Structure 1
Amino acid sequence: MSADPDARTDVGVDPETESEMGAAIDPDVDISTANTMRERANESRIKLWVMLGANRLLITGLLALFVFAAFVALGVFVYPPFEASLRSADTIETMFSTMIGAIVTATTLVLTISQLVISQENGPLGEQHARMSDTMDFRSYTRDLIGQPMPADPSMFLRVVIDAARRRAEALRSAIADNDDDQLRAEVDEFTESIVGNAEEVDEELDGATFGEFDVLFAALNFNYGWKLFQVERIADDHEESLTDEDHAILDELRTSLSMFGPAREHIKTLYFEWALIDLSQLILYVAVPALVVAAAMLAFVDGSTLTGATVGIPDILWLVAGGFTVTTLPFLLLIAYIARVATIAKRTLAIGPLILRGSQR
């Protein structure tokens, strides 16, 4: 994954403000980041749309269209003798008998995955009580941290945690406004602007987002709390002598607010993974039956020697086989569409806390 290690956002301290402060931020200290995951990782918008943002059924449909078009194009332009093979040999029988076996095997595998996912929710009373206790303990701790009850809606839950971090960042900037360390003031000002800008961007995306449609988790991925945690620790260490006890206390509160976002996002991610895998299992079961019917019909009723016509210059037998083959691949195309998103999310959230795995601003 490519990234520009020197990428900076436009938010921060402008030259006029720096001049008024009397000192510029050390050019070796890279504090602020872009407000979206795509900008930070320098990824193509189209790539992120395909892998993450787009509806999975739409991606499945696009993949099916590609398979169909590629099949026809290969039969017409790359290997024209394929038409004769469909008419005279047992190509159709071999192709669709193989697909029947593949569909049955894949469906069985999906059922196994569903059982594994569902098994995570099963357990004896003691385990269920422990899960409930851990959940309520986290909510109680977070309520004490932000001073209000935690919402039940996942998007509101994340918005409250992010807003707490934003408010404490602004409190830190206010606390050191009169500090004699110009470098400290400049760094905190840029850091605060970065947090505020990132928080506003994510808050806007979370507004009205519905869990189960990926919107909530997609927005949460845009808040790079790990880098912000690192900056809090760095500022506290680099300017220890310039910070008062009150300033250190505010930094600790900001650090705690940011650290709470980590387990909150991971919890939402885990729930989404289970939700998505169950959706995938259901959809594959739904399309497996039509795929089996089409494969069986191609074996039982299609005789290549009797289909001698052509449509728009392309043999009808090629249209028919291409369509039948595309339908039989739908379970696999669904699997590709869903696993592509799940794998991408998992790769981007491997580490929890201030550990930067990607090249951006490492």
Structure 2
Amino acid sequence: MGSSRTDETLESYGADVGARSGTLAGVREWIVVEGNRVTVAALLLLGVVVLLLVLHEIGIVSFVNPNSVTRVASGMIAGTFSLVTLVVSVNQLILSQEFSAAGKARDRLEDVVEFRRDVAADVGVPASPATPTRILELLVESIRHDAADLADAVTTHDDENVRETVTQYTNSVRERTERVDEVLEKGEFGSFTAVSAAINYDEAWHLHVATHLRGEYGDSLSPAAMEHLDDLIDSLKLYNVAREQFKTTYLQRELTRFSQLTIYCGVPSILSAILVGLLFADFAGPSVSTVVLPYVVVALIIVGLSPLALLASYILRTATVTRRTASIGPMIPQKDPEEGPFDVTYGEDR
């Protein structure tokens, strides 16, 4: 193929989704993806507390008008019931994926068994591990090993351009897989550490580059180099499938946990909204001192908003994970169509 390459390096176009570029980006990544969801929800509620108290102190909001406060309580009750309905819908969606007839269940099992057999053959073990995290670790190690073998196979290549290009690519693969492996070793299934490492590894870009190198230099590479390149492509494909399975299983657990926490907070939320209305049920005015009234109302409002805070924290993560893994294989929607070191035109290889 006669494709031209820009002066940019191969690895500069890797799909490093979620990569940090500063302190602000790191904080944003923690809030959106990495942070514990309950902690993020608590921080959101703390921000609401500070906002309401500050607005009260400077005289923008007040808590002595019974009509206004009771309208807020009514809205909180209606919103909580709507949120519970949403949670029920989420549970129905999850359950719909679990119910299946015997034939469909058998097909799903056979697909999983076949995939695990392919993984075992690729990584050279008697049987693939039971834990998804360990499967990803072995596949990352296999990718790194295949890249090292490919680099060794081209060290004696006559064409310096081919040798440097392939070596540059394999160095990028080995560097990034080492970072992923370090994170995976610290993570456990059920924690988001391993999932974050899995979705942030740019195997889609590495698969794209490997496919391009095979097509462009396939005639000049030695049979051993071509074999190692094909092994690398197969390992990257298996990693992509394993990541999707891991992500799906984790999101199911995540949404189930969100449903449980929302139900736990739903009843106290409704009770707190009812109490807000009952505080102003007396014809003489609020049933507590006006000195402590703002703090009591704010506390009850925070309890009432807890399901909404949980919804925001969990949806931020699940939506981000889904967006970053929306495509399968070397289809990278987050990259600009003009970006990349490969510029190809129709029919140039004919």
TM-score (norm 1): 0.85
Moved more, 221-230 or 231-240: 231-240
1:246-287 CA-to-partner distances (Å, cap 9, x unmatched) read: 322221111111111111100111111111100000000001
Question: Is 1:136 matched with 2:117?
Answer: no
**Among candidates 299, 314, 322, match of residue 346 of structure 1:** 322
Measured in 2, the distance between the counterparts of 1:40 and 1:337 equals: 20
Moved more, 295-304 or 124-133: 295-304
1:225-264 alignment, distance < 5 Å: 225-264=203-242
1:70-81 alignment, distance < 5 Å: 70-77=51-58, 79=60
Measured in 1, the distance between the counterparts of 2:187 and 2:304 equals: 34
The question of whether the paired residues in 2 share the 8 Å contact of 1:100 and 1:292 is answered with yes
The residue that corresponds to 1:275 in the other structure is: 253
Measured in 2, the distance between the counterparts of 1:127 and 1:326 equals: 46
The residue that corresponds to 2:175 in the other structure is: 197
- Structure 1's 40 and 298: CA in aligned 2 closer, same or farther, altered over 3 A? closer
The residue that corresponds to 2:36 in the other structure is: 55
Question: Is 1:320 matched with 2:299?
Answer: no
TM-aligned CA deviation for residue 36 of structure 1: 5.8
1:87-102 alignment, distance < 5 Å: 87-102=64-79
Measured in 2, the distance between the counterparts of 1:137 and 1:351 equals: 23
The residue that corresponds to 2:307 in the other structure is: 331
- SS in structure 1 opposite 2:254? helix
**Among candidates 289, 294, 298, match of residue 267 of structure 2:** 289
TM-aligned CA deviation for residue 46 of structure 1: 1.2
The residue that corresponds to 1:6 in the other structure is: none
Query: Residue type of the partner of 1:234?
Result: H
TM-aligned CA deviation for residue 40 of structure 1: 7.8
The residue that corresponds to 1:46 in the other structure is: 27
TM-aligned CA deviation for residue 146 of structure 1: 2.2
TM-aligned CA deviation for residue 308 of structure 1: 4.3
TM-aligned CA deviation for residue 309 of structure 1: 4.3
TM-aligned CA deviation for residue 27 of structure 1: 5.2
The alignment's C-alpha RMSD in Å is 2.2
The question of whether the paired residues in 2 share the 8 Å contact of 1:291 and 1:329 is answered with yes
TM-aligned CA deviation for residue 171 of structure 1: 0.7
TM-aligned CA deviation for residue 306 of structure 1: 4.8
The residue that corresponds to 1:167 in the other structure is: 145
The question of whether the paired residues in 1 share the 8 Å contact of 2:279 and 2:288 is answered with no
Aligned residues: 329
Measured in 2, the distance between the counterparts of 1:122 and 1:35 equals: 36
- Structure 1's 69 and 241: CA in aligned 2 closer, same or farther, altered over 3 A? same
The residue that corresponds to 1:17 in the other structure is: none
- Structure 1's 40 and 182: CA in aligned 2 closer, same or farther, altered over 3 A? farther
Measured in 1, the distance between the counterparts of 2:251 and 2:46 equals: 27
Query: Residue type of the partner of 2:7?
Result: D
The question of whether the paired residues in 1 share the 8 Å contact of 2:150 and 2:225 is answered with yes
The residue that corresponds to 1:118 in the other structure is: 95
1:273-329 CA-to-partner distances (Å, cap 9, x unmatched) read: 11110000000000111111211222224465454443xxxxx22222221111101
Measured in 2, the distance between the counterparts of 1:39 and 1:56 equals: 20
The question of whether the paired residues in 2 share the 8 Å contact of 1:36 and 1:198 is answered with no
TM-aligned CA deviation for residue 106 of structure 1: 1.2
The residue that corresponds to 1:181 in the other structure is: 159
- Structure 1's 287 and 306: CA in aligned 2 closer, same or farther, altered over 3 A? closer
Q: How many percent of aligned residue pairs carry the same amino acid?
A: 28
